[in-house]
Amino acid sequence: MSIHKTNRKEATLTLILKTLSENSHTNFKEQILEAYERILFPTKIYQNSIDDILSKLPPSCDSLLEIGCGTGSLLTKASKKKINNLYGIDENPLVIKLARQKNPTKTNIICGDFLKYQFQQKFSTIIANNLLNVVQRPLDVLEKAYSLLQDGGRLLVSTPKKDFSLDELTHQLTIELQTKNLSQSEKEDFELIKRFNENLSKTMNVYSKEELEKILLQFIGFENVSVTPTYGDQNNLFIALKESCNPKINYFWDNQNEHLENIKELRNYCLRNLLSDSENIHSEYDDSAHHFIAIKDGTKTLAGVVSFIDYTMSKQLPIEEIVRIADFIKYDKALIGTLYSWYVLPTHQHLKIGSQLTKEGFLHAKRKGLKQLFLTGNPEVSSYLVNIGCEQIGNQQKYKHLNADFVPFMLELDKLKVEVLQRYAA
């Protein structure tokens, strides 16, 4: 399973037009939207897929957000239910205009970028219908959706199957439309839709049931995920449930490296938007490192890890890509260590897992008798490292293999401010 960022052209359900031509005239774009409105959206296949999604709403759904709401067909049906707060967001002004016409009163229709928009509330249900397959950063969308869910809320995701067949879907639509005695202009609209969908299908992100299930459980952090077919059996509908309260986190040393593969996967997931040439990062130090890990209670989900190595090998250490640490060593090499990585699931950073991991990593190094640690941190954590006793020993620079800035630090462990460290982790 690849979790590396995609280089495909960004396109939501209503921005698919970008995949055809960046220079398309507005009238042509409107023609596509009108074809969808007149031909595709009224079909039983499409309407049944909306019903499938809405049938998975919790009985107590009091607020709903649809990401990439398009022309608002789903929200129109949802508005007939007893939901106090209905929201839809899409960044295409053309479809937002249609969505507002369909939903003039009860629904809040927002024209904006979901990943950038600052919502002022959380939701009991969030829907992404035929969205993950066409956005450039699907994992970022899932992470933000998780953060916007209330405790106990659910995310409903409908997306094409790995073996999605456009020919089969077109065949089903053709059979249904043949019973409607389409006019010549409607037949032309359907031909336009078929050509349009064929173009789109060449650039889609597609996931197997197992792949997306793993992402939702292991990397986004949902408590439970169930799956059912929909959209003419060409899509999977994922029902992902968030915990009703913050999960308990268990911390321990992975002395036997039993979780090494999960550690590597977590690292590559957290770095996915920074990776440049290679798809994954493989560290030659993983097998010999000390890994202190955070596991969600009752699950196998690795929520975070901090890793460090003793400075007893002749290989160049990761920090030496930024600074020649030999110039700063004050003790025998056997008493030196390098804290070379720490990662936390983005959706779980509010649980202070990173602070707890860092605390245990530093204290463990001190208990082992190490005198000096070298480490790097991104600029956002620099003040935290200084406050616990670290000294900056070089300027901010870029790692060679990452498109990211890091700052080098040194920590003399007898100067570690344990009380400050514990306060951060509390």
- 108 - beta bridge partners? 87
Exposure b/e, 405-426, CB count within 10 A at least 16 = b? ebbbbbbebeebeeeebeebee
Over pLDDT 70: what percentage of the chain? Answer: 89
Per-residue tokens: 302: 């690795």
- Residue 189, CA atoms < 13 Å, CB-side half-sphere: 20
All structural domains of the chain with their residue ranges: 17-241, 249-425
Report whether pLDDT(98) > 80: yes
Report whether pLDDT(12) > 50: no
Q: Output DSSP code: residue 386.
A: H
> Is residue 117 very low, low, confident or very high in pLDDT (cuts 50, 70, 90)?
very high
pLDDT at position 404, please? 78
pLDDT at position 24, please? 46
Mean pLDDT calculated for residue range 66-84: 92
Give the DSSP letter string of 162-183. TT--HHHHHHHHHHHHHTT---
Report whether pLDDT(15) > 60: no
pLDDT at position 143, please? 97
Indicate the SS3 state at residue 381. Answer: helix
> Residue 201: how many CB atoms within 10 A of its CB?
16
- Render pLDDT for 405-416 as a digit per residue (tens, 0 to 9): 889 999 999 999
> Is residue 376 very low, low, confident or very high in pLDDT (cuts 50, 70, 90)?
confident
pLDDT at position 334, please? 82
pLDDT at position 338, please? 85
Residue 61, H or E segment: none
Closest to 77 measured CA to CA, from 120, 112, 41: 41
Q: How far is Cα 336 from Cα 241, in angstroms, rounded to an integer?
A: 45
Report whether pLDDT(31) > 90: no
Mean of pLDDT over the chain: 87
- Length of the chain as a residue count: 426
- Residue 424, CA atoms < 13 Å, CB-side half-sphere: 20
- Render pLDDT for 190-201 as a digit per residue (tens, 0 to 9): 999 998 888 888
Mean pLDDT calculated for residue range 63-82: 93
pLDDT at position 207, please? 93
Indicate the SS3 state at residue 132. Answer: coil
Q: Which CATH superfamily is domain 17-241 in?
A: Vaccinia Virus protein VP39 (3.40.50.150)
The angle that helices 184-201 and 166-178 make with each other, rounded to 10 degrees, is 170
> Residue 77: how many CB atoms within 10 A of its CB?
14
Per-residue tokens: 412: 């003399």
Give the DSSP letter string of 225-266. EEEEEETTTTEEEEEEE--SSPPPEEEEE-TT-TTHHHHHHH
**121-130, 319-328, 359-368, 383-392: least confidently modelled range:** 319-328
> Is residue 14 very low, low, confident or very high in pLDDT (cuts 50, 70, 90)?
very low
**Domain 249-425, architecture per CATH:** 3-Layer(aba) Sandwich (3.40)
Residue 358, H or E segment: helix 353-367
Q: How far is Cα 346 from Cα 426, in angstroms, rounded to an integer?
A: 19
Amino acid identity, position 117:
Y
Q: Across the beta sheet with 123-129, what order do the strands follow?
A: 107-111, 85-90, 63-67, 123-129, 149-160, 235-241, 224-230
Mean pLDDT calculated for residue range 42-65: 95
Report whether pLDDT(152) > 70: yes
Mean pLDDT calculated for residue range 334-349: 88
> Residue 57: how many CB atoms within 10 A of its CB?
18
CB 67 within 8 A of CB 47: no
Mean pLDDT calculated for residue range 290-315: 85
- Render pLDDT for 243-284 as a digit per residue (tens, 0 to 9): 999 899 999 899 888 999 999 999 889 988 876 544 556 677
Closest to 138 measured CA to CA, from 238, 259, 281, 52: 238
Per-residue tokens: 129: 């219908």
Over pLDDT 90: what percentage of the chain? Answer: 57
pLDDT at position 203, please? 83
Cα dihedral: 256, 260, 262, 263 (round 10)? 110
